[in-house]
A and B are shown apart, each in its own frame.
Chain A
Amino acid sequence: MGCRYPGALTHERIMEIFGGTADLVARELRCGPWSIHYYAIDGLTAGGDASDFVVHPVAERLRGDSMEELYEQALAGAVYNSVADDCPDLDAVALKLVNGFCVLLFPGAGAVAYEVKTPEKRGISPPQVENTVKGPKDAFVETSRSNTSLIRRHLRAPELRIWETQVGEKGLTNVSVVWLEGTAEPELVERMKRRMSELTVEALISPATVEESVTGGRGTAFPLIQYTERTDRFCQGLMEGRIGVLVDGLPQGYLAPVDLGRLMDSPEDRSIDRVSASCIRVLRYLALVVGLLLPGAFIAMTTFHHEMIPLPLLRSIIESRSSVPFSTAVEVLGLLVAFELLQESGIHLPQAIGQSVSIIGGIVVGTAAVEAKLISPAALIVVSTAGVCGFVQPDRALAEAVRVWRFLIAVLGAVGALFGVTVGAVALLVHLSGLESMGRAYLMPFSDGAVPKIVYGSAKRWRAKG
């Protein structure tokens, strides 16, 4: 990163950089005949700690014949603080201040930053999205350093490496690249570091910015980097040789490279026995296919290929649809839209209200619509089944990509019958086979045709390593 704040390291320049912001604490401290300047940002620093471990030692212990001597003493330990960093320029001073350090400026000699961060931060809580019945209950929080400590507690390996940088021309977000030395490929580590160093964004605040920045301009709905709020899952990824990324302010960790097989892994797989985990994994893959193809296949079969439906089933579908004024395609696509709307409203509303909306939308409106003969029960069952299959996916980003493709394949089914569905499925396969995550093929685990290995062997591998 280039020089953001040029100029000499003076009190005037520091005040100019912060432009008289209300939360900047600046005061003059006297050390005998010399006066030094103290800076801190209120709220980021603990006032008590700053008084006890910076201001008090300065007033009591710092004595010297020149400003340079005072500076040397402060850096050497006269001001008793575990962290005392030299700040050679204005950039370093500004960066330390916004990261919760306080800075002592010795005019004409230099500046020293002391760590007096406030302990105020969100406590470690259980995962909100990736819940499991068994297994650890600690999830990432917004503070990067807390997250690295959580990783260290799960992986007490001296080989764990953390490389930090600031990303964002305006935001200066702290980003950590995490890997396990000797396990991760050095080339991948360098690639991730290079990508982080070369990012030219204003700030890394939202998860989408992080994902797009790390994976490049991606023209796909499928995740090319995996995110997780679970520390154990993150550590598992590191042990598999993947590279982790932690972004200050985001309560999740990112793992790359990623492929479809890994996205279909659930932390729950490690909590249950191997046979059950393998069976559930087969069920999960089945749900992926059903969730993608069912609405499209239903439209195609009820509009173009009636002969494929067993007669008793066809009769009951016809009976249920006899009074519905819309075509099956309109009905299913409309229901898919309604389902997405309900899901979106559930996400944006507070949890208590969100549940009420789901109940009203799912049961009250759904039942009323069936009774009013606006939709048929068969279409409702098909869309609900596809929706439930989407919820089975352990990775939310993958489930969202499936939502997009489900819609596309349903439209193709309405236009081109089962042929259209097949075109959609083949297009998806072509699309997936063209995707790469940090140079790794997205369908890599399936490329050697070892599907049983993916299902059974993966669970075995997890057990062995995890």
Chain B
Amino acid sequence: MKRWIWALAALALLWSPKSGVDVGKLRPVQVVRVAHEGAQVEIRTDVGAWGAGMDISAALEALHEGAEGVVVLDTAEYLLVDREDPALILEMGERLRPSCMVCIGDADPETVGAYLQVHGPETTVSLYRAGERRLSRLEEKDGRLELVS
């Protein structure tokens, strides 16, 4: 009996996950900014990774390819969009947590994290998906950030 248990354990270990990523290589994102650049969509993150493409999927693919380490979008807390584009927000929202907060703005994502943590917008991806369309606007006046409802 004991031998069987050992054999089963060894066999099970052979099927264990092998594709681990060391935590040091992870780049957990806090702020994602999605902007329209002509016909293309550009995605920037607060960890410095960015990518552009004809749609969200292509931009994300470029972002992951060009990034140093593994960019983790599941951890994003804020989504900035340069203008209110429901289709874009909903599509990007699919890739983020439902509790991720959405606002309009084109500030550098690397600099706004701390501000948004204190003065975060109220609309989340899930609320937006449910029909809530009132989005706050993040504006930059005289070098200072301001969230306008």
Contacts and interface: CB of A to CB of B under 8 A. Distances in A.
Interface string A390-425: 000000000000000000000010011101100100
Contact of B20 (A304, A412, A430): A304
B5 interface: yes
Nearest to A416: B16
A247 B6 CA distance: 38
Contacts of B143: none
Range, interface on chain A:
20 to 34
B74 interface: yes
Interface in B53-74: 72, 74
B120 to A, nearest CB: 15
A133 interface: no
Contacts of A417: 16-17, 20
Nearest to B16: A416
Given A416-B16, A417-B16, A420-B13, A430 B24 contact: no
Q: Which of B9, B21, B28, B74 has the most CB of A within 10 A?
A: B9
A171 to B, nearest CB: 37
Given A314-B28, A315-B28, A318-B26, A423 B21 contact: no
B137 to A, nearest CB: 26
Contacts of B6: 427, 430
Nearest to A431: B2
B24 A321 contact: yes
A434 interface: yes
Given A303-B21, A306-B23, A430-B2, A423 B13 contact: yes
Nearest to B47: A318
B59 to A, nearest CB: 24
Contact of A416 (B17, B26, B28, B75): B17
B87 interface: no
A327 B22 contact: yes
A59 to B, nearest CB: 71
Q: Which of A306, A322, A327, A376 has the most CB of B within 10 A?
A: A306
B12 A434 contact: no
Interface string B1-15: 010011001001100
Contact of B16 (A314, A315, A420, A430): A420
A443 interface: no
- Determine chain A's interface SS by DSSP, over half rule: helix
Range, interface on chain B:
10 to 19
Interface in B77-130: none
Contacts of B21: 303, 306
A321 B5 contact: no
A302 B13 contact: no
Nearest to B74: A307
Nearest to B30: A315
Nearest to A417: B17
Contacts of A430: 2, 5-6
Given A426-B9, A430-B5, A434-B2, A303 B16 contact: no
Given A416-B13, A417-B17, A420-B13, A303 B28 contact: no
Contact of B75 (A302, A311, A376, A412): A311
Contacts of A420: 13, 16
A419 B27 CA distance: 25
Given A426-B5, A427-B9, 14 more contacts: A303-B23, A306-B21, A311-B28, A314-B28, A318-B24, A328-B22, A376-B24, A415-B13, A415-B16, A417-B16, A426-B9, A430-B5, A430-B6, A434-B2
5 contacts: A306-B26, A314-B23, A318-B26, A322-B24, A376-B24
Interface of A: 302-304, 306-307, 311, 314-315, 317-318, 321-322, 324, 327-328, 376, 412, 415-417, 419-420, 423, 426-427, 430, 434
Interface of B: 2, 5-6, 9, 12-13, 16-17, 20-24, 26-28, 72, 74-75
